[in-house]
Amino acid sequence: MKKYAHVDDDDEVDDEAAAFDVLDSEAASHRKHTGGPGPDMPEAEQQQGGQQQQQHSLTSFDELDEELERVPLAADRKPWLCKGVQHRVVVAVLTAVLLVIVVVASWAAMANNVALAQRLGELTAGTPSPTPATQQQQPIVVLVSIDGFRADYLARGLTPNLSRMAAGGARAPAMQPVFPSATFPNHYALVTGLYAETHGIVANTFYDPVFNATFRYTLPADATDARWWAGEPIWNTVVKAGKRAYCAFWPGSEAAVQGIHPSVYLSYVPLAAELSNTKRMQLVLEWLGEDVATRPSLVTAYMSSVDSAGHSYGTEGPQIDLAIQQADAAIGVLLDGIAALSVPINVVVVSDHGMTDLSPQRVVFLGKAQAASLLPANK
Ligand SMILES: [Zn+2]
């Protein structure tokens, strides 16, 4: 626990995130659930944990997303969707518009500087030196998703850590999500390179006439049922290459796609509720700090709190701004932790879709529109 003493755990904002506010006993609880290596575990146990595939018991992705799914399209429906948020604007994902953040930054870890200094030393001395440990492994890729982080959130002056990534690496102005611009189709597109109609996750919730069954992204049974998940997620590619892939949440990571699990993965239910954004980044850092024999080549991590705050409170206001700041702070923990490791690491931060506010003033009543001969059916 003392290892975490410098980290502010009060970094969450909404009801869902409040559940992430983990007490001091969290670390032990987390290790109990994960069975994974932790700072206080005996070394032998850590090694065992690092070498085995680890499945951890299963919460729901974005309960508010599901609420959005359930709302009928009837025109007389009150347009605000989220519980306990009376008279607030409705927020929904925006399709086919460039509203998604993509920050891709090659983070120059301190290790790279060390390696460079060593290479320079070789040149100066004119004699070869033993290969540094930092050069014995290909750089690790850490892929982090901040759900529902709209591209222009980066312009609010609230994200110093994402900004320093962009300044030290590269940034895309935005990303166009695949259709539909929902969490599951896009996250799985990101790791398979496939559109939704090909990778199979065509919505957060959908009916499949062949299976005569409905996929529900909130159901742990569907998260782990490989029949829904097609294509080849990147962690499978890594495992097939004889390397290790660790997933601190990602849609699809709990299913044995192609019969293959990530080397380590977490069950969203119940662990997401137990792991704040900061805790997730600390877990990633633990993984990155593993011995070179078990150290992963790919790590994925996922944060839902910005999406949740947007759905609950809209895309403007103190709540979403706080969520943005807290997600950025978690990224800061990750970056600072990586800088302290003697491991070459590339960090890629993405989002899955944007978000926009709706309002009662912009509701279109189809019946009235038809009566006004605005629809072909009335002509
Ligand atoms: Zn999402």
Among all residues, which ones are annotated catalytic? 183
User: Residue 376: its pLDDT value, please?
Assistant: 60
Task: Please state which of the ranges 187-201, 215-229, 245-259, 364-378 shows the lowest mean pLDDT.
Answer: 364-378
Residue 308 Cα to ligand 1 middle (Å):
9
| Model pTM score | 0.66
Distance CA(26)–CA(77), nearest Å, equals 41
Q: pLDDT category, 173, cuts 50, 70, 90?
A: very high
Could you tell me the pLDDT band of residue 365, with boundaries at 50, 70 and 90? confident
User: What CATH code is assigned to 136-355?
Assistant: 3.40.720.10
How much is the average pLDDT of 305-326? 98
Measure the CA–CA gap between 268 and 345, rounded to whole angstroms.
25
On the question of pLDDT at 308 being above 60, the answer is yes
Distance 362 CA to ligand 1 centre (A): 23
Residue 233 has pLDDT above 50, yes or no: yes
Look up residue 284 and give its amino acid: V
CA of 367 from ligand 1 middle (Å) equals 32
DSSP state of 52: S
Estimate to the nearest angstrom the gap between the alpha carbon of 50 and the chain centroid: 22
pLDDT above 60: residue 12: no
Domain range annotation of the chain: 11-81, 136-355
Mean local confidence (pLDDT), 120-134? 36
User: Which one of 18-32, 92-106, 269-283 scores highest in mean pLDDT?
Assistant: 269-283
Distance 352 CA to ligand 1 centre (A): 5
How far, rounded to the nearest angstrom, does the alpha carbon of residue 272 sit from its chain's CA centroid? Answer: 11
Cα 181 to averaged position of ligand 1 atoms, centre (Å): 8
The arrangement of strands across the sheet holding 140-146 comes to 170-175, 100-105, 345-350, 140-146, 298-303, 245-248, 264-265
